Amino acid sequence: MAGVAAANGFPVLNLQAYLEGKTVLETRALVADLCRQFYTLGWVSGTGGSITIKVHDDSIPKPDQLIVMSPSGVQKERMISEDMYVLSSGGEVLSKPCPKSYPHKTPKCSDCAPLFMKIAHMEMIKGIFGHGYYDELVIPIIENTAYERELTKSLSEAISAYPKTTAVLVRNHGIYVWGDSWISAKTQAECYHYLFDAAIKLHQLGIDWTSPSHGFIKNESYQRVSKRKFEVYANAGLAFQASKPSRKCIVLDIEGTTTPISFVTEILFPYARDNVRKHLISTYDTIETKDDIELLRAQVLDDLEKGILGCTPIPPDDAGKEEVIESLVVNVEAMIKADRKITALKQLQGHIWRTGYDNNELQGVVFNDVPEALERWHDGGIKIYIYSSGSREAQRLIFRNTVHGDLRKYLCGFFDTTIGNKRDAKSYCEISQSVGVDKPSEILFITDVYQEAVAAKAAGLEAIISIRPGNAPLSENHEFKTITSFAEI
């Protein structure tokens, strides 16, 4: 960009050159390298979006220095400098990543504000008392000091300036939180210090907490407050841990849960439909295909008795290979069009897809948050299973060959419709008997289908509904917890 361009309200000559300059490029590479190291160390949950560093450039006034932010939806270990967003200090996006080829998603900018001072339009805000999706949460930031006792004055000023806040961030230190709505944060990762607790209590009582005459900064008082605080937070922590479900197994649906529905409907189904004739011709005399044909014969006979539309009789083998294959193709195409969840179809589709994967004509697709979650659960000692209407072989194929590598190493087993219909509670009773838990409630089942969640709950399992792009809408009165990413579990 030639001439003068306004950036952050400060005139900057040749903004494009600035964006492509050494300091910005080095900062982009630094953020990518940090994300990879965070992944190795097990730090930062989720994909690591919104990790932010200000570009240090002595030639630019500090208020106008740019910000480099890591994208949302890209695994930390896979981030590269080209994935980064560059923002003005006011939050305006000045440079964004180039689109990625299918099936990779283009990195998206985090919804977090660059300075993390004000937060709005985020669903999790509703977890803080008195705040809703459209409300703005303001969290003051104060500078750190050499000793915590020296934070008293700035804490007092921050709370006085923001009387409705329930947290204060301390640069290069951590976050102080209070209030019942932050109980889960209190019992997991935040700072529990006697000084802060005493300061809050005195502030609520209207006492000048900075005055030495109250003596709350004496060592003896430190000990009393610290002991009481330990008891309070220990009890709160035990209560929180007791309220958490005891999960030993997680059972996952595939379509609409680990994998986009579009991958199944727009890639897998058409591939099976277009290659069914070719597959049957080339494998007609194999034991595997003969078994597939017998299953289809039995299914078609049952369909004919029930008067299901689209099915036609399959002639006996002595009618000739061509005639048998022709009738099989007609029936299979009708089954695929009707999206039948039947073992005979799913088994044949799995065998057709196997050829596609082996010939590199197909590649498994999962949502970007899935690999990290599978690894995290696996490392935490949780057994992970798949339960899908697709055949077990088809399930394995999806996870065998993905852009994230072979994910089967995290999976303990696969269930398909041979164990029962996914909308039947008995199926989930069978699964609970098979995975070796003491009680069904130790199993979490995640699906995108409400009726499947109902059946799993009826069998005693914990059930969560997955909300993914392309999934069918849920009714407003459903009683299940919902998630949009496995990072929420």
Given a cut of 60, whether residue 11 has pLDDT beyond it is: no
For the record, the structure tokens of 17 come out as: 């050159």
pLDDT at position 406 = 94
pLDDT score at 187: 36
| Encoded tokens for 183 | 């109980």
Q: Which range (16-25, 66-75, 191-200, 442-451) has the least confidence? A: 191-200
Given a cut of 80, whether residue 195 has pLDDT beyond it is: no
* Nearest to 452, CA basis, from 303, 253, 298, 266: 253
pLDDT given at position 136: 66
**pLDDT tens column, 454-474:** 999 999 999 999 999 999 888
pLDDT at 386: 96
The structural architecture, per CATH, of the domain 262-358 is Orthogonal Bundle (1.10)
Q: Measured over all CA atoms, what is the biggest interatomic distance in the chain, rounded to whole angstroms?
A: 104
Identify the CATH class of 4-95.
alpha beta
**384 has which bridge partners?**
250
Question: Which carries the bigger pLDDT value, residue 143 or residue 422?
Answer: 422
The whole-angstrom separation of Cα 81 and Cα 182 is 35
Q: Is the pLDDT of residue 4 over 70?
A: no
pLDDT tens by residue, 227-267: 444 444 444 444 444 444 578 999 999 999 999 999 998 99
CA nearest neighbour of 28 among 64, 101, 82 = 82
Q: Is the pLDDT of residue 310 over 70?
A: yes
Burial class (CB in 10 A: 0-12, 13-18, 19+), 475: exposed
Mean predicted confidence (pLDDT) in 109-132? 53
The predicted pLDDT at position 231 comes to: 46
Q: Which residues are catalytic?
A: 123
Handedness of CA 261, 262, 264, 270 (dihedral sign): positive
The C-alpha atoms of residue 451 and residue 303 are separated, in whole angstroms, by: 24
* 427-436: long-range contacts, CB 8 A cutoff, minimum separation 24: 427/387, 427/455, 427/459, 428/455, 428/456, 428/458, 428/459, 428/460, 428/461, 429/459, 429/460, 431/251, 431/385, 431/387, 432/459, 432/460, 432/461, 435/249, 435/251, 435/383, 435/385
At 435, list the tokens: 């995975």
Arithmetic mean of pLDDT, 256-280: 93
pLDDT of residue 343: 85
The Cα 38–Cα 53 span in angstroms is 15
Q: Where are the domains of the chain?
A: 4-95, 118-243, 249-258+365-488, 262-358
As a whole-number percent, the residues of the chain with pLDDT over 70 amount to 70
What average pLDDT does range 102-130 have in this prediction? 55
Superfamily of domain 249-258+365-488: HAD superfamily/HAD-like (3.40.50.1000)
State the Cα–Cα distance between residues 92 and 81, nearest whole angstrom: 19
Give pLDDT tens digits for 41-57.
Answer: 766 655 566 678 888 87
Name the pLDDT band for 116 (thresholds 50, 70, 90): very low
The answer, yes or no, to whether residue 36 has pLDDT greater than 50, is: yes
What pLDDT is recorded for position 428? 96
Cα gap 335→442, rounded to integer Å: 36
pTM, 2 dp = 0.49
Top pLDDT among 230 and 351 is at 351
**Alpha-carbon distance values, 32 to 39, 41, 48, 72, 119 (Å):** 11, 14, 10, 13, 25
The per-residue pLDDT for 112 is 42
Is a pLDDT exceeding 60 seen at residue 129? no
* Same topology between domain 4-95 and domain 262-358: no
**Residue of 237 and 115 predicted with greater confidence:** 237
Rounded mean pLDDT of the chain?
A: 77
Structure-token pair, residue 77: 């270990």
- Please list, in sequence order, all residues whose beta carbon lies within 8 angstroms of the beta carbon of residue 358, skipping any fewer than 6 positions away: none
Q: Which residues pair with 29 in a beta bridge?
A: none
Instruction: Give, in degrees to the nearest 5, the angle at Cα 242 between 425 and 463.
Output: 20
